[in-house]
Amino acid sequence: MAQGTALVTGASAGLGTELAKLCAAGGYDVVLVARGAARLAELAADLARTYGIQARPLVADLADPSAPPEIHAQVSSAPVDLLINNAGFGLRGAFAETDWAAEARLLQVNVAALAHLTKLFLPEMVRRRSGRILNVASTAAFVPGPFMAMYYASKAFVLSFSEALANEVQGTGVTVTVLSPGPTRTEFFAAAGITDSGLFRGPAMDAAEVARQGYHAMMAGKTSVIAGARNRWMMRGARLIPRAWAAAQARRLNLG
């Protein structure tokens, strides 16, 4: 008997793949959401074989506003016990010059789809008085990010939204956790075309370790976890310095 069902967005790569592995290893059936059909199918087969759970690939483009209700409808036969909103991507450039179409997709994937999936699955969890939600933000959520302004702001939304919901659901049997990774070795920087960024060239954590910290925080019902002691110290510092200084620091890192 499975422990329940976990739905993981952005499961085809990086942190999402590692989070899906942890859910499967914990005995959960998994629903794996992303655009990359071949990678999802391969991961699903691998997780089913390794952990003896049911793994279902669900191909969806979260930049399409109709994706969250379609995903919800596709999994309506069994309750979702763990919702992991991990899919996201970054963009760089001066806001005066960047492409709105790409930025609108970023808002849809990083912000609106995350909120919409939560809107669809949270009421059922509250009714059942059980369920856990893990939203993936970033250390970028704690500071303004010149030349990646939309990305940093999208993650500030995820952090604030998740902390507020964690408070709202107190006493319902449901928990909401937000994971803030710092630079992590995944496909994120290549996907954003920013492998020359100071964030990429500095120290980075292993995706498996970041996912482990997020998964354990979610299972423990914690509200917020910053991955890695170094990142925790840096964010403590970022809270103490004036926002303009933090912005200047982020500007230097983002420009490489």
Ligand X SMILES: NC(=O)c1ccc[n+]([C@@H]2O[C@H](COP(=O)([O-])OP(=O)(O)OC[C@H]3O[C@@H](n4cnc5c(N)ncnc54)[C@H](OP(=O)(O)O)[C@@H]3O)[C@@H](O)[C@H]2O)c1
Q: Which residues bind ligand X (CB under 6 A)?
A: 10-16, 34-36, 61-63, 86-89, 109, 136, 138, 181, 183-184, 186-188, 191
Strands, E assignment, 80-194: 82-85, 131-136, 174-180, 184-185
Shortest reach from residue 23's CB to ligand X, in Å: 15
CB of 53 to ligand X, least distance (A): 19
Please say which residue, 52 or 202, places its beta carbon nearer to ligand X. Answer: 202
Q: What does the alpha-carbon distance between residue 42 and residue 228 come to, in Å, rounded to a whole number?
A: 30
DSSP string, 63-111: TSTTHHHHHHHHTTTS--SEEEE-------S-TTTS-HHHHHHHIIIII
Q: Which residue lies nearer to ligand X by CB, 68 or 131?
A: 68
Query: Based on CB atoms, which residue is closest to ligand X, 62 or 253?
Result: 62
- Are 34 and 56 a contacting pair, CB within 8 Å? no
Catalytic residue among 51, 151, 152, 215: 151
Nearer to ligand X, 28 or 151 (CB): 151
d(CA 73, CA 237): 44
Q: How far is the CB of 26 from ligand X (least distance, A)?
A: 19
DSSP H or E stretch at residue 200: helix 198-201
Q: Report, in Å, the least distance between residue 61 CB and ligand X.
A: 5
Is 151 annotated as catalytic? Answer: yes
Report the catalytic residues. Answer: 151
